[in-house]
Structure 1
Amino acid sequence: MATTFEDFKLNKQLLTAITEAGYTIPTPVQEKTIPLVLAGHDVMGIAQTGTGKTAAFVLPLLMKVKYAQGTHPRALIVAPTRELAMQIEDHIKILGKYTDLRYLAIYGGVGPKTQIEKIKAGLDILIATPGRLMEIYLKGDLILKELKTLVLDEADKMMDMGFMPQIRRLLEIIPRKRQNLLFSATMHERVEKLSEEFLEFPMKVEVTPSATPVETVSQVLYQVPNLPTKINMLEYLFRNEEEFTRVMIFTRSKKNAENVSKFLDRKIAGATRVIHGNKGQNARINAMEAFRNGGVRFLVATDVASRGIDISDVSHVINFDVPVIYEDYVHRIGRTGRALQTGSSITFANEAEMHHIHEIEKLIKMQIPEAPLPPDIEVTDTGFEEQQEIARDLDKQKRKTDPDFKGAFHEKKERFHEGAIDKRTGRPFQEKKPTKIRSFRRNKS
């Protein structure tokens, strides 16, 4: 087994860049994967996030492509999100700095014109999201007949996001004789079955069981009844400036992301950035860079940022809302405790979200330690709208286990039955007559 990067027989340019990047010894996934990729095998790699998975395929890819040649890309890396595509491009920039290799990440959210111009100028390695890749290919501005290696990163997320039609279309138009690499932190049975479509006799690298959280991340769960109390918890935790130095806060919706961001901005002006699907590409890039460089203390995000974002020294990940795609819990908390560093994950869950917590615990095969709410926390009453939302979620969960369950809202739908009494007026409900719609003829002039 390799104990140093020199043992992989990488060239001097790569070894120099590795040293300058601060890499000392290979991580387990790098140790197992790099020799297989260099030997030309198809590889299915399953490794928890934050273990050096990206370098595990970027390093051998740089070694195989070696130097600039021709006009059309010889290696293609497909990623599900813009952020992950940009992150992979950054890895190639760092590790390939002493090579003359030409690389580019293409993604939506910005116009394709500049990307097309760079493609036509000549490329060796292309990183792409599926939608933008097919858009530019179908325009006739991208030639893929020279491809020798295809990498699918975060393959399970691509399938969850509905990218399989684009992936299947891509497999039809690229050379059949090629090396295929598939990587993810989670690999459920459906993904493994679909991977059989394009992996030929793959070598499976599984350094940890699928969906296993990083051991260096401590986890804690608080049962918090509602959104205002969750906000109070944030305020309480963030008083400790020495401990909560660089924090990622994940929400389920764009609305909650904005609300949390506005609250933090009121309390600590200029310390927060927010990213979600409605933010423009430049705003998202600037927010990520400000957080990475230490310009802001908090980054609030939806799950668009839970995968592939490699930011060092993230002290805490806070799950303000529990994810309903359970694999995303692993990806979220993997933003801290990266590269064998320690980190902390804190999760807030209301009554309805506790169902998802139990499902997540089944997935990660461990119980998330629960702590009582601190006595200083003001527990706010749950507002009417949030009460309804929680009740609806509980109804959905019960219907899944009991098809005959009618739900808390069933009686409201039947309130107009004969003899029903309106509690506000004390009189029977009266069925409303349909409104007549008059038709008017235009006067001919």
Structure 2
Amino acid sequence: MSHFDDLNLSNPVNNALKDLGFTVPTPIQTHAFPVILSGKDLVGVSQTGTGKTFAYLMPLLKDLKFSKEINPRTLILVPTRELVVQVVEQIESLTKYMNVRVLGVYGGKNINSQKPAVMAGVDVLVGTPGRTYDLVLHHSLSLKNVKKLVIDEVDVMLDLGFRFQLTNIFDMLPTKRQHIMFSATMTEEVDALIDDHFISPEKITIAVSGTPLENIAQFSYEVRNFYTKANLLKHLLADKKKYQKVLVFVSSKRNADRLYESMEEMFEKDLCIIHSNKSQNYRLRSLEQFNDGNKRILIATDVIARGLDIEDVTHVINMDVPIYPENYMHRIGRTGRAEKEGTSMLLYTEKERACKKAIEELMKVQIMECDVPDEVEVSKELLPEERPKSKQIELADKVGAKEAKGESTHEKKDKNKKVNLGGSYRRKITKKYKKPKTRGDKNQNRKTKGK
């Protein structure tokens, strides 16, 4: 199919798509539409940035009729708060000419403020597994009328530890329902979840994760340590014309904060940050400022590496090498979207070289090596995890491992030879009330003592 008209969408959805400027469906949208419309269970495997969200929204909204029912009929589960907000916005844009009640629920926000909104009635509920499960436990949400269950980015949910909530949500749903699952990678945990709950699902695979995105130019720099990476990053980002909208990924929250502090003085007006320790309002504000172009540089952990549609990112810079090669693909998928060209840069140390090689083997592509510019200062400052162990500590460890622990070789002083007898009071009581010489009947013992 080469046009949305070929999908036989309802007029309200078609008009909304025209307002959004979309005319041609992506491959995942074309293949998923008839399967979802048929009512079969679906497992879609597709690379990030291929239009998975609209792939399940269009057929679901085509079938969704007006209802005064309070409980949701469609439940969409996503792994992060930001993704909840984004999916709700996309549903609202597609239902511009429809009367559909949509609500998003997620953690980090007072649950008491979400209870009345849920109880007021909703047609499509979008939520994180944790908050959705909590609302059910609080008797504010009932899932008895859910006919369509969508689980988006399921591999991320399982990585974040949501298996318990997902399993319990499955048990709370009615027996007759349709399952729709989308994921960028298939793992053993995902397969187990499908085997336990899906009924003969149809699997659609479009662009398996690990396939390099051809419209993304990839470069790498071998750098000595974290703060030298920060110096290189500052040197590159000084060129505002070239680096117009840059997403910088850092693996840990602590290193994200360190990088922000290192760059704040030079890029204060251009810089924002997102990670899970930031408040929900702060995270949404940072994302909005970056999306709107008010901030040029966004430092983030992998919390936004998946699913989020951030427009016109010119560069993705990896401050470190992800342990799992697939995560590199998800990161760089934030650029080069909608057939636009993008650039990815990977900064790695000698210790991270093996992880870089694993990424190249997965993609079957050699990432181009670049020389670090001479003007970039090589920092001598090391992170605690980068510092070598003290030689004295290492030597003590070796000696301790070889020598068996035993008694001291010198003779103890007299004061240290004393044995703890339990205190003077206990000694007096023990002396006064001695134990009987023979065990048995108390009366018999007394007769023996009398003789």
Same fold (TM over 0.5): yes
Match of 1:414 among 376, 384, 398: 398
Matches of 1:221 and 1:67 in 2, distance apart?
53
Matches of 1:56 and 1:167 in 2, distance apart?
22
Q: Which moved more, 1:360-369 or 1:130-139?
A: 360-369
1:48 and 1:214 in contact (8 A); partners too: no
Matches of 2:368 and 2:374 in 1, distance apart?
18
Aligned to 1:329: 328
Aligned to 2:44: 45
User: How far has the Cα of 1:409 moved from its partner?
Assistant: 7.7
User: CA 1:361/1:418 → structure 2, altered by over 3 Å: closer, same or farther?
Assistant: closer
1:83 and 1:308 in contact (8 A); partners too: no
Per-residue displacement from partner, 1:245-268 (whole Å, max 9, x unpaired)? Answer: 011111111122122223332112
Aligned to 2:73: 74
Q: Helix, strand or coil for the counterpart of 1:385? A: coil
* 1:413 maps to amino acid: D
User: How far has the Cα of 1:58 moved from its partner?
Assistant: 1.2
Aligned to 1:359: 358
Aligned to 1:173: 172
Aligned to 2:348: 349
User: CA 1:411/1:158 → structure 2, altered by over 3 Å: closer, same or farther?
Assistant: farther
Matches within 5 A, 1:268-417: 268-381=267-380, 383=382, 385-388=384-387, 411-416=395-400
* 1:158 maps to amino acid: M
Aligned to 1:209: 208
Matches of 2:144 and 2:318 in 1, distance apart?
44
User: CA 1:211/1:105 → structure 2, altered by over 3 Å: closer, same or farther?
Assistant: farther
User: How far has the Cα of 1:105 moved from its partner?
Assistant: 1.0
State the TM-score, normalizing by the size of structure 1. 0.86
* 1:337 maps to amino acid: G
User: How far has the Cα of 1:154 moved from its partner?
Assistant: 0.5
* 2:317 maps to amino acid: I
Aligned to 2:422: none
Matches of 2:56 and 2:386 in 1, distance apart?
47
Matches within 5 A, 1:39-118: 39-118=38-117
The percentage of aligned residue pairs carrying the same residue is: 39
1:68 and 1:100 in contact (8 A); partners too: no
Q: Which moved more, 1:87-96 or 1:254-263?
A: 254-263
Query: Aligned Cα RMSD in Å?
Result: 2.3
Aligned to 1:405: none
Matches of 1:161 and 1:235 in 2, distance apart?
32
Aligned to 2:181: 182
Q: Helix, strand or coil for the counterpart of 1:183? A: strand
Per-residue displacement from partner, 1:85-143 (whole Å, max 9, x unpaired)? Answer: 11111111111111110111111001012211111110000111111111110111101
1:248 and 1:300 in contact (8 A); partners too: yes
Counterpart check, 1:196 vs 2:190: no
* 1:40 maps to amino acid: G
* 2:397 maps to amino acid: K
User: How far has the Cα of 1:415 moved from its partner?
Assistant: 4.1
Aligned to 1:260: 259
1:185 and 1:211 in contact (8 A); partners too: no
User: How far has the Cα of 1:411 moved from its partner?
Assistant: 4.4
Q: Helix, strand or coil for the counterpart of 1:221? A: strand
1:52 and 1:339 in contact (8 A); partners too: no
Q: Helix, strand or coil for the counterpart of 1:165? A: helix
Per-residue displacement from partner, 1:250-298 (whole Å, max 9, x unpaired)? Answer: 1111122122223332112221111111100000011111111111001
User: CA 1:245/1:66 → structure 2, altered by over 3 Å: closer, same or farther?
Assistant: farther
What are structure 1's unaligned runs of at least 5 residues?
393-407, 420-429, 431-445
What are structure 2's unaligned runs of at least 5 residues?
404-409, 411-451
1:213 and 1:334 in contact (8 A); partners too: no
1:17 and 1:97 in contact (8 A); partners too: yes
2:305 and 2:330 in contact (8 A); partners too: yes
* 1:229 maps to amino acid: T
* 2:183 maps to amino acid: S
User: CA 1:417/1:42 → structure 2, altered by over 3 Å: closer, same or farther?
Assistant: closer
User: CA 1:384/1:203 → structure 2, altered by over 3 Å: closer, same or farther?
Assistant: closer
User: CA 1:350/1:115 → structure 2, altered by over 3 Å: closer, same or farther?
Assistant: same
**Structure (1 or 2) with the larger CA radius of gyration:** 2
1:250 and 1:320 in contact (8 A); partners too: yes
* 1:332 maps to amino acid: R
2:184 and 2:208 in contact (8 A); partners too: no
Matches of 1:320 and 1:66 in 2, distance apart?
48
User: How far has the Cα of 1:332 moved from its partner?
Assistant: 1.0
Counterpart check, 1:35 vs 2:19: no
User: CA 1:156/1:411 → structure 2, altered by over 3 Å: closer, same or farther?
Assistant: farther
Aligned to 2:162: 163
Aligned to 2:19: 20
User: CA 1:104/1:413 → structure 2, altered by over 3 Å: closer, same or farther?
Assistant: same
2:226 and 2:383 in contact (8 A); partners too: no
State the TM-score, normalizing by the size of structure 2. 0.85
User: How far has the Cα of 1:418 moved from its partner?
Assistant: 8.7
